[in-house]
Structure formats: C-alpha cells, structure tokens
Chains A and B, each alone.
Chain A
Amino acid sequence: MEMKATRRAYGEALIELAKCDPRVVVLDADLAHATFTTLFRDAFPERHYNMGIAEANMVDAAAGMSGTGLVPFCSTFAIFGTGRVYEQIRNCIAYPQLNVKLAMTHAGISVGEDGGSHQSVEDIALMRVIPNMTVICPADANETHDAVFAAAELNGPVYIRLARAETPVFEDELKKPFQLGRANVLREGKDAVIFSYGIMVNESLKAADMLAGNGVSAAVVNVHTIKPLDTACVLEYAAQCRNVFVAEEHSVIGGLGEAIAAALLEGGVHARFTRIGVQDRFGQSGKPAELLREYGLDAASIADKVLSKIV
C-alpha cells in the first residue's frame, strides 16, 4: 500500500490547484520544507511568499491579500498556525469572514521526536470555536487533495489540519468521494461505531479488523469535516450501533468527541459514549508509533477500549 503524509499531498495539491486558479498564493513562515509548500514554490516561485518566522504577520498579511482578490493559503506547524496566532485568525480573518485558507501541518502527537512543545493537540478546539470557520482534517493523500480544492471553492476561512507522519493512501472501497460537511462511512458495523478523522481513521480501521476477530462488528466513520458536523450521519450511526467511540489525535477537550457528544444529547440519541484521545495532557518526544501507543491511540488500544466499554 502506498504511504504518503497528508502534508506532502497538500504541497502537491497546491500545484494542481494553482494551475487552474490564478488567485491562489501561498504564504509560509520559514517552514516551507517541512510543510511541503516548497513543492509549490518550485513550480510557482512568484506565487510563494516566505514571511519569515513571524506567524502573526503572515496570517494578517494573508487577510490583507484576500482583500485584493487573492486566495492565500497559509502554512506553518499547527501549534504556531493556530495557537500562536489564534486572535489574529479570529479578529482579522474569521470576524470579517475573509477568504483565507489555513493549512497547518505537524498536528497531533504523531509529530514525534520534536516533543510536546511542537505537538498541537488543541488546534481543533481553537478553530472550531470560531464563528465562520470551517474545520477539515483529511485522512489520507487523496482526501487532502480533495479538501484543498473544496477549501478553495468555499468563499470563507477554512482550517485544514495536516499530519507529518506517512499514512496509507486508501484504495478501492476505502476511497470515497469527498464532500465538505458529509462524513464517509468506511466500514459498516452493528455493535459499535468509531468516529474519527486524520491519521486516526487508519488506526480505527485496523482496530475494527481486530474487533471483528473478537466477534464485534464495528462501523468506522471518517468525519473529515469536523465543522460543520455531519449531524445526520452521526445520529444515524449512533442510533444504529448504540456504542459510540470517538477516536482523535487531539485533546478529548474541545475536539470531535465533544462535538459529537453535544450532537447526541441534543439529538436525543441514547448511546454508550467514549472519547478516545489525548487525556488532558501534553505530548512528548518519541517515535510516532510509540507515542500513539503511549497515549492509547493506536489500533490495539482503540480495540481494547472498545472491548472494555461495549455493552
């Protein structure tokens, strides 16, 4: 199976997008090699702006550029591109609803060796709380490509969360059409449903395989658009499966888990509900696989959690 990081797929998608949309420009903050906007820079050097290690100025300058009719994509690491510049995004991009795309890489603990200072496990919370903001986290390279195009088509701010680690490129029945705000059911099941996004989709699929060996039929739903949430799909699968798990490489506070919990309560669906995520702690150094294991986010941990909670 082909392996590719969503950040690389992002850099590649930008080139394709820029060929058909002359409004697209890309801004980076001295991390272009890591975010893979170098791929775009090499193809369109006159459309790539390095803003230096000055993220606040970068995102606000992007706001200004959008005011001249351009469609800026801003990239750096998620920790800096959301947390450090939260208020810039809120006041200068989202409040005036400007057409700026924030595509931030190195999200989550799978950043690995750089450690907790560089592992954003709060970015989804920070972005989804802002009015006018659309929040997407693609699960693989193809979905990243489609998310970039969908973001460009939408006239408004979009946050795209991307990963450093290489993950499988889904094939065959796992390859689904991408529609903004519409979750994709990757695996049907009747005993439990695992909602996830990003690199956790692959872990959830592997967990579902393990669970099948234990006689548990688990559905896996890829909620690539965290906001707006596909509430209809969430309620349908929660009602059908009764045991709801949300697996995310993010703090359990403020992430998809809480969004789904609210949807279930307000939708009147009674289900056994479990959040699988970073349990209100910071990340640390280690290999990505070791970290997923340590934080209970790898496939085996998800399967164990499902088995221990399912009724």
Chain B
Amino acid sequence: MSTTYLNDLCKQIRRDIVNMIASASSGHPGGSLSCVELIVGAFSQMNFDAQNPAWPERDRFVLSKGHCAPALYAALARYGFFPVEELSTLRQLHSRLQGHPDCKKCPGIDASTGSLGQGVSVAVGMALGAKHQRKDFKVYVVTGDGELQEGQVWEAFMAASHYGLDNLTVMIDWNGLQIDGTNDQVMSLGALPDKLRAFGFELIELSDGNDIEQVVAAIKAPCNGKPKCILAHTTKGKGVSFMENNVGWHGKAPDNEQRLKALAELED
C-alpha cells in the first residue's frame, strides 16, 4: 500500500472516529485519534482474511488501550470486517461495537480489552501459543502510556523477553497525557526507553508516531530474536486542532458544532 493511500485511510478513520463518538455522545476521542497510525500501520502489514476473521493462521492484533475502540472499529470496517454503516451503532444497546472491544461480539477483535494492563499479557499468550505450535503468525499489541503504570504490563514484558517472543510487537502510544493530567503529573514513567531496553526489547523509538511511514518502517524492521517495542511519540487528539494535546478531550464527545468543525479540519 502506498503512503498516500495509508494517509488517506488514516484521515478517513479519523473522520469515522469523530462521527462515531459524536453519534454515541460518548467515547474517547483523544486517545483514539493518537493511535490511528499505529493501528493502520499494523493492519497494513498483517496477514488476515476479513471474510474469515477466525482464520487460525492470521496475525493477531490486541488493542490493550481498549477505550480507543473507535479507532480499531473504524479500521476494521474500512478493512472490510463489517459494514461501514455499522460504525454509527457504537455504544448502543445490542451493538456489536461495545464501548470497549468485545471479541465475542465483533468480528476482527482478537481480544476483549478495556481493563488496562491486561492486553499485553493476552498478546504474550498469543505469541507464546504461536511459538508452542510452531506457527508463523505474528502478534501486535497497542498499549497506552498511562497504561504502563499497571504493574502487570511489566510482568508481561518480562515474560515476553524470557520466552524470546520475537513474534510479538508492542506499540506504545506515547502521547504523554492521561485522564488526570500529564504522565509526569500523575505518575512519572521515568526513563522509559531505558526501562524498555532493560526489559529485553528490541526498541525502536519513533520521533513521530503519527507519521505512517515511520510506523510502517518500524513494523518491518528486524528484531534480532527479541520482542520488539515501538515507542511512538504521538499527539493526543491528533488531526483536530482543538483536541490536540488537550487532556479535556480524553473522554468527552464532541457536540454537533464541534463535530462539523473537526470534520472540516479532517477533509482531504
């Protein structure tokens, strides 16, 4: 896929996110907008069959920061897992598009997530399962930065290294903000790159995790027998000027006026 195509896709997904969350009057636009390139970058390189989402040999994708489900749902719809029209059912009664991803309900969701800190462990188990069965599929997981405050994430990192899971790629959406403020105000992550290297990752730090070319190159890069970690500096609320780097948009839905303003900024 060309960079132009992927950039257009990311922009489309951002419009979907704004529309979905506005339509639901509920959801998490800031983090959804910041991780779009990480999701699209992964799906652009993954083996999957949208018509047969349970294909056992498929690559797996886990959105550990499950509250950013709108970004994943939009990507899944745009990649053909379910009709684009269904996106407007987000967070409604009986919808397959639950507030947080539900793998029992929604095609293309490989793990039910939402309770932070757990998706990386699930992804570790998937990668371990692949190794155990000598299967070639790969596992991608996107985690938040605030999510790294959960101790379980580091248990999972330890296990990924211990079992040499070079089929696992952990992508960290490092936008620097969480609900109650900046990471440093809430609970400092400290020397994050050093910590990740010390836990045994092949670390690739991206100066701009909202640059699809950087993301794709990092996903394609070799990992030398270690689990790979892509530490991506991103912008919370990316693409919508009044949401960018504004913690107030972590979990707030735009009203119609704000929706139209955002969509205008996200035009081709």
Contact of B159 among A46, A47, A51 (CB under 8 A): A51
Among the listed stretches B14-22, B107-115, B197-205, which one makes contact with chain A, having 4 or more residues with CB under 8 Å of it?
Answer: B107-115
Are A56 and B132 CB-contacts (below 8 A) given A61-B125, A64-B124?
no
Give bound CA distance, A87 to B115, whole Å.
9
Contact of B125 among A46, A54, A65, A96 (CB under 8 A): A65
Q: Which residue of B lies closest to A132 (CB)?
A: B104
In A29-56, the 8 Å CB interface with B consists of 46-47, 49, 51-52, 54, 56
A179 within 8 A of B: no
Contact of B102 among A57, A68, A96 (CB under 8 A): A96
Complex contact A25–B121 (CB within 8 A): no
- Chain B proximity of A44: nearest CB distance (Å): 11
Contact of B56 among A54, A56, A69 (CB under 8 A): A69
Give bound CA distance, A61 to B125, whole Å.
4
B135 within 8 A of A: yes
Complex contact B129–A69 (CB within 8 A): yes
Give bound CA distance, A144 to B86, whole Å.
47
Query: How many residues on B have C-beta within 8 angstroms of the other chain's C-beta atoms?
Result: 34
B266 within 8 A of A: no
B103 within 8 A of A: yes
- Kindly supply a per-residue 1/0 record for chain A positions 1-32, scoring 1 wherever the CB is within 8 Å of any chain B CB and 0 otherwise: 00000000000000000000000010000000
How many A-B pairs with Cβ below 8 Å? 109
Complex contact A88–B158 (CB within 8 A): no
Are A61 and B135 CB-contacts (below 8 A) given A52-B159, A87-B115?
no
- Chain A proximity of B13: nearest CB distance (Å): 25
Complex contact B111–A67 (CB within 8 A): yes
Contacts of B110 in A (CB 8 A): 67
Are A57 and B152 CB-contacts (below 8 A) given A64-B111, A64-B124, A97-B104?
yes
- Kindly supply a per-residue 1/0 record for chain B positions 148-169, scoring 1 wherever the CB is within 8 Å of any chain A CB and 0 otherwise: 0001100110110011000000
In A267-296, the 8 Å CB interface with B consists of none
Are A92 and B123 CB-contacts (below 8 A) given A60-B152, A65-B132, A97-B104?
no
Complex contact A64–B158 (CB within 8 A): no
Complex contact B128–A54 (CB within 8 A): no
Are A57 and B159 CB-contacts (below 8 A) given A68-B135, A88-B118?
yes
Complex contact A61–B132 (CB within 8 A): no
B171 within 8 A of A: no
Tell which of B102, B125, B132, B151 has the most Cβ of chain A within 10 Å.
B125
Interface residues on chain A, size class: 20 to 34
Complex contact A60–B122 (CB within 8 A): yes
Q: Which residue of A lies closest to B105 (CB)?
A: A96
Tell which of B60, B111, B128 has the most Cβ of chain A within 10 Å.
B128
Contact of A92 among B60, B111, B130 (CB under 8 A): B111
Give bound CA distance, A54 to B156, whole Å.
9
B71 within 8 A of A: no
A63 within 8 A of B: yes
Complex contact A54–B104 (CB within 8 A): no
Contacts of B156 in A (CB 8 A): 57, 60-61
- Chain A proximity of B204: nearest CB distance (Å): 23
Tell which of B56, B121, B159 has the most Cβ of chain A within 10 Å.
B121
Complex contact B114–A68 (CB within 8 A): no
Complex contact A91–B115 (CB within 8 A): yes
> Which positions in A face B, CB cutoff 8 Å?
25, 46-47, 49, 51-52, 54, 56-57, 60-70, 72, 87-88, 91-92, 95-97
25 chain-A/chain-B pairs, Cβ below 8 angstroms: A46-B132, A52-B155, A52-B162, A56-B118, A57-B158, A57-B159, A60-B152, A61-B122, A61-B124, A64-B62, A64-B111, A64-B123, A64-B127, A66-B129, A67-B111, A67-B122, A67-B125, A68-B56, A68-B126, A72-B125, A91-B114, A92-B111, A92-B112, A92-B115, A92-B118
Closest 4 CB pairs of A and B: A64-B125, A68-B129, A60-B121, A61-B125
